[in-house]
Amino acid sequence: MYNVLNLAKRRISIRNFLSEPIDLRDVLYALDAARNAPSGANKQPWRFIIITDNELKKKIRSYCEDAEKEFHSRAPEWMKSWLLEKGITWRKEFLTQAPVLIMVFGKTKEPYWVQSVWLAIGYLLLALEERGLASLTYTPPKVSWANKLLAVPTDYMLQVIIPVGRAKESKRSKERLGLEHIAYCNKWGHTYDLCLNGIDSYKR
Amino acid sequence: MYNVLNLAKRRISIRNFLSEPIDLRDVLYALDAARNAPSGANKQPWRFIIITDNELKKKIRSYCEDAEKEFHSRAPEWMKSWLLEKGITWRKEFLTQAPVLIMVFGKTKEPYWVQSVWLAIGYLLLALEERGLASLTYTPPKVSWANKLLAVPTDYMLQVIIPVGRAKESKRSKERLGLEHIAYCNKWGHTYDLCLNGIDSYKR
């Protein structure tokens, strides 16, 4: 059995997927978790379209790659370096390689809709990881094409595409700032240990 | 033991807290999960200030309630009704009642910083729930006061205050749209069952 911390540590963004099919009930399990997330005024401004159709995946990839070519040519220098270092190009093979894509839409008229949708995506990623499914949060540079392609009402906007499947690449270890760099006590820069006065230190 | 779906279903927003102290290691556990979330270009644009100081909590409450009074007077009618129905007023007693507040800041210059911070908040809430801690995502109508009060650099912005503690109110059941209303198959409005062809239906 896992706990949330284990899942959070184990889960890593994957860009290379095996094409083997997955059990869609695992995806539905994760969406079931996501729909239970809190949201601004409980408006639940999220909708998820599960993409399993191969022809549709090809079209989605084509729209995304067209937008990526433009984005890559205009990216700031630091991002170009980062993309190069990570081996990220305009090619988005994972959009046709992964057996399933989850297209996540947000209802743009609701209060805190972006915040609510992304909080739910946090739930979703952990639930997918629990079921042994690899994922990536891929945000295409342009999104309006998705409304037409999938008959989505205009008051919903594509927020992210999450390819889901089995990882083809081996999982690297994650680079993250230590807890001491991101958690403070009562004031910016004051180490969290100060809040632990008297009790044992936090063991990671 | 719990799984992610159980935690997601069990977790409910709590506005009334017991003032009894909590073990801060449980809060650090949850922040440890949050820091492992993915983020735009892995910039990890989140910072968390744990508030345990009672005088500081009073000040935070005061800043928030001043802003709330203004917000409530200007809220659209549908929201006024919703707030009234939920018993939510400008009073934010939970800000002094809860033993701990987590102030979450986002670095506004990073790519997808809002999205990244809120995804991490999803991780955080599930980890708190796992440790038996109640929480609320409270977004004050104004936030710039927080930088001065807590010596936070100007390129970080308060995104949410999360009071954490034991629930004083009994947990009500949650109102959420069913999975069939939020998850579609290959096209808006097409029931997810269509993606399950051949295999057992998804049992909730």
What pTM did the predictor assign?
Answer: 0.96
ipTM of this complex > 0.90?
yes
pLDDT-based confidence at A127, cuts 50/70/90? very high
A8 inside 8 A of chain B by CB: yes
Go through B192-201 and write b for each residue having 16 or more CB atoms within 10 A of its CB, e for each that does not. beebbeeeee
Q: Which of B46, B111, B152 sits opposite A188 (nearest CB)?
A: B152
Interface membership of B21 toward A (CB under 8 Å):
no
Element (H, E) at A50: strand A46-51
Q: In 3-state terms, what secondary structure has residue B181? A: helix
pLDDT tens digits along B77-109: 988 898 888 888 999 999 999 999 999 999 999
Q: Does B127 lie in the same domain as B62?
A: yes
B47 touches chain A (CB under 8 A): yes
Q: What is the pLDDT of residue B86?
A: 84
φ and ψ of A190, to 5 deg: -85, 120
Distance between B18 CA and the closest CA of chain A, angstroms: 19
b/e for A76-112, b at 16 or more Cβ within 10 A? eeebeebbeeeeeebebebbbbbbbbbbbbbbeebbb
Q: Are residues A113 and A95 in the same domain?
A: yes
Answer yes or no: do A97 and A191 share one domain.
no
When pLDDT is averaged across residues A79-103 and rounded to a whole number, the result is 93
Query: Does A31 sit within 8 Å of B182, measured CB to CB?
Result: yes
- Name every chain A residue with its beta carbon within 8 A of the beta carbon of B44: 176-177, 182
Looking at the structure, tell me whether residues A160 and A189 fall in a common domain. Answer: no
Q: What is the mean pLDDT of residues A85-102?
A: 95
CATH (domain of B55): 3.40.109.10
Q: Which alpha helices (H) appear in A39-184, and where do they start and end?
A: 54-74, 77-85, 94-97, 113-130, 145-150, 179-182
Question: Residue B30: what are its φ and ψ, rounded to 5°?
Answer: -70, -40
- Distance from C-alpha of A104 to C-alpha of A161, rounded to nearest angstrom: 6
Query: pLDDT tens digits, residue range B36-64?
Result: 999 999 999 999 999 999 999 999 999 99
Provide the number of structural domains found in chain B: 2
Identify whether residues A202 and A154 lie together within a single domain. Answer: no
Please tell me the distance from the alpha carbon of residue A87 to that of residue B193, in angstroms, as a whole number: 37
pLDDT in tens, A29-69: 999 999 999 999 999 999 999 999 999 999 999 999 999 99
Q: Please, how many CA atoms are within 13 Å of residue B147, restricted to the half-sphere of its CB? A: 12
> Given an 8 Å threshold on Cβ–Cβ distance, is B118 in contact with A123?
no
Domain containing B193: what range? Answer: 174-204
> Which of A48, A111, A121 minimises the CB distance to B122?
A121
Same domain, A48 and A138: yes
Contact criterion met (CB < 8 Å) for B202 and A29: yes
Question: Is the pLDDT reported for residue A88 higher than 80?
Answer: yes
Whether the pLDDT of residue A27 is over 70: the answer is yes
User: Could you tell me if B154 and B200 lie in one domain?
Assistant: no
Amino acid at A42: N
**B8 contacts in chain A (CB < 8 Å):** 32-34, 36-37, 123, 127
Dist CA B54 CA B139 (whole Å): 20
For residues A120 and A157, membership in a common domain is answered with yes
- Tell me the CA distances in angstroms from A94 to A77, A89, A136, B107, one per residue in order: 25, 12, 9, 29
- In this prediction, residue B198 carries a pLDDT of 64
The CA radius of gyration of chain A, in Å to the nearest whole number, is 19
Coil, strand or helix at A172: coil
Q: What is the CA radius of gyration of chain B?
A: 19
Residues near A55 by beta carbon (within 8 Å), at least 6 away in sequence: none
- Are B49 and A202 within 8 A, CB to CB? no
Mean per-residue pLDDT over chain A, rounded: 94
CB spacing of A126 vs B121 below 8 angstroms? no
Query: Sign of dihedral through CA atoms B120, B124, A182, B93?
Result: positive
Same domain for A66 and A106? Answer: yes
Clarify whether residues B66 and B166 are in a common domain.
yes
Is B101 an 8 Å CB contact of chain A? no
Tokens of B13: 């927003």
DSSP A134: E
Chain B contacts of A79, Cβ < 8 Å? 41, 111
pLDDT in tens, A132-188: 999 999 999 999 999 999 999 999 999 999 999 999 987 677 899 999 999 999 999
Nearest by CB to residue A186, choosing from B44, B53, B176, is B53
Do B63 and B22 lie in one domain? The reply is: yes
Are B126 and A123 inside 8 Å of each other by CB? Answer: yes
Which of A9, A42, A188 is nearest residue B36 as measured by Cβ atoms?
A9
Q: A135 and A103 in one domain? A: yes
| B160 contacts in chain A (CB < 8 Å) | 115
DSSP per-residue codes, B59-112: HHHHHHHHHHHHHHHH--HHHHHHHHHTT--S--THHHHSSEEEEEEEETTSTT
Q: Chain B neighbours among A 144-183 (CB < 8 Å)?
A: 150-153, 159-160, 174-177, 179, 182-183
Instruction: Tell me which residue in A25, A115, A204 faces B32 most closely, judged by beta carbons.
Output: A204
Find how far residue B64's CA is from the centre of its chain.
16
C-alpha to C-alpha distance for B7 and A195, rounded to whole angstroms: 27
pLDDT digit string, tens, across residues B139-157: 999 999 999 999 999 999 9
